[in-house]
Amino acid sequence: MAKLLYSATMSLDGFITGAGGDMSWLTEYIGPNPTVDDVIIRTGSLLVGNRTFRGDDPHKGTEHEGEPFGGGWDGPQFVLTHHAPDTSPAPGITFVGDLETGIAAAKAAAGDKYVNVLGADTARQCLEAGELDEVLVCIAPLLLGDGVRLFEHPGGTDVKLERLSLTHAPSATNLWFRVVR
């Protein structure tokens, strides 16, 4: 059964984008990272928020612009949106209009691999629906000061996590957690 994994590269101060959705900061932190390589191999499908799908790309200007993980992964993507276009922009991309449908479709497509959840709003909803299994944060050594937070819950909450691993790469420190239910 597929598990849902929320993965992101985050600044030390907790942002997964810079101000205004800027992702150019990430480019210099995309380097050799065996933990990320492992996740990519173990990812069977993507559940992607539409702001991520349409947002800035750290691979902008390269031949891999617009491709998941900079071209390092290929497979079915399920994009959550209330405004699905009539046609898919590329093979393997399916627009879905609600979370439940998106999770079910992404899990079915992933088989026994991970559904990799991309986008903070999408991941929060998966968590609140009791569907998020794990979180992988690659902490990049910088402070962004503004942007989209890894996780936001107005009024606060208390989500317990159990650490599964701590690994180091030249460009990031990786923390992998299980969501305690």
Nearer to ligand NAP, 28 or 98 (CB): 98
Q: Which H helix or E strand runs over 134? A: strand 134-140
Facing residues of 115 across strands? Answer: 4, 45
Strands 134-140 and 114-118: unpaired
Task: Mark the segment that binds ligand NAP (CB under 6 A) among 38-46, 49-57, 65-73, 107-115.
Answer: 49-57
Nearer to ligand NAP, 112 or 156 (CB): 156
If binding is defined by CB under 6 A, does position 51 make contact with ligand NAP? Answer: yes
Q: Copy the structure tokens of residue 131.
A: 């569907």
If binding is defined by CB under 6 A, does position 148 make contact with ligand NAP? Answer: yes
Number of amino acids touching ligand NAP (CB under 6 A)? 27
If binding is defined by CB under 6 A, does position 56 make contact with ligand NAP? Answer: yes
Q: Copy the structure tokens of residue 90.
A: 């590329």
Q: Which H helix or E strand runs over 169? A: strand 161-169
Nearer to ligand NAP, 82 or 112 (CB): 82
If binding is defined by CB under 6 A, does position 103 make contact with ligand NAP? Answer: no
CB of 85 to ligand NAP, least distance (A): 10
CB of 171 to ligand NAP, least distance (A): 13
Q: Nearest Cα to 159, choosing from 144, 177, 180?
A: 180
If binding is defined by CB under 6 A, does position 120 make contact with ligand NAP? Answer: yes
Which residues, in sequence order, are CB contacts of 81 under 8 Å at separation 6+?
A: 50, 53, 95, 96, 97
Residues 63-102 that bind ligand NAP (CB under 6 A): 80-83, 97-99
Q: 3-class SS at 50?
A: helix
If binding is defined by CB under 6 A, does position 16 make contact with ligand NAP? Answer: yes
Which residues, in sequence order, are CB contacts of 57 under 8 Å at separation 6+?
A: 23, 65, 66
Nearer to ligand NAP, 67 or 112 (CB): 67
If binding is defined by CB under 6 A, does position 38 make contact with ligand NAP? Answer: no
If binding is defined by CB under 6 A, does position 106 make contact with ligand NAP? Answer: no
Q: Copy the structure tokens of residue 128.
A: 């609140």
Q: CA 20, CA 42: separation in Å to the nearest integer? A: 31
